[in-house]
Structure 1
Amino acid sequence: MRGPGSGALLGRAIARSAEAAGAMVAVEDCDTHPWYSATLSGARYAFALTADIDAPVAHWLYSLPQQDLPLPGHLVADLAVAPAIEYSGRLHWRIDALTIAAA
């Protein structure tokens, strides 16, 4: 039996990071594409998230790119947070990440 993929695991790590900061977010969607260089392989992820508008979310979003997100068998090499958009009383934003598979 196969477990969840790296996209699901990274989404869970992002949600746990938010929860630890007192921010409740919902990972709505994840787009995953393989990534390769001459010597490495990994994947690119685009997560769509939503949350209520509050101070813990803003602080967490600001600190997220510097956090070490655990992802078994992979290294989160890059993570970027797009500017959030307010719609219907909620924040909506995108997180882009690049992971590299452990050798």
Structure 2
Amino acid sequence: MSRGPDAGTLLTRALVAAAAADGVACAITDADWIRWASATFTGAQHRLTLSGAFTPALDDWLTALPDREFALPGHLVADLTILAMRASPDRIEAELQALTVEDR
């Protein structure tokens, strides 16, 4: 019996789907996560790199990303932060950090 996709896969899919729904073209070029736990919660800490052709729409989308809500089956996105953004005239790359918490 399969447990389904892990939190890292769900988060990656949600980010790509949100961008596509908003008409923004980008891709996750690197992603990694580690398990995380506190006294009351379990989840994962994520590091992702997102990149795409530089457009004002992508720049605006990235700027608003930390305030966006994501629906991940069995998980909540507790925090999403942009650690760094690098832009050139033709590309933009953002390093993201997120914390997901299991909702079970």
TM over 0.5: yes
With 78-87 and 93-102 compared, the bigger mean Cα shift is at 78-87
Runs of 4+ in 1 over 6 A off after TM superposition: none
Q: C-alpha distance in 2, partners of 1:4/1:100?
A: 15
Q: Which residue of 2 aligns with 1:55?
A: 56
> What code does the residue aligned with 1:37 have?
S
Q: 1:88 to 1:58 in 2, by over 3 A?
A: closer
1:46-83: per-residue Cα shift (whole Å, max 9, x none)?
01111100011011111111111111000100000123
Match of 1:68 in 2: 69
For residues 10 and 93 of structure 1, what CA distance do their matches in structure 2 show? 15
> How far apart, CA to CA, are the structure 1 residues paired with 2:82 and 2:73?
22
- Kindly report the root-mean-square deviation, in angstroms, between the aligned alpha carbons of the 2 structures: 1.5
- Say whether the 8 Å CA contact 2:54–2:89 is kept in structure 1: no
Please, what TM-score do these two structures have when normalized by structure 2?
0.90
AA aligned to 1:21 is D
| Aligned residue pair count | 103
**Aligned equivalents of 1:30 and 1:83: distance in 2?**
15
Which consecutive unaligned segments of at least 5 residues does structure 1 have? none
TM-score by length of 1: 0.90
Q: Report percent identity of matched pairs.
A: 37
| SS of residue matched to 2:24 | coil
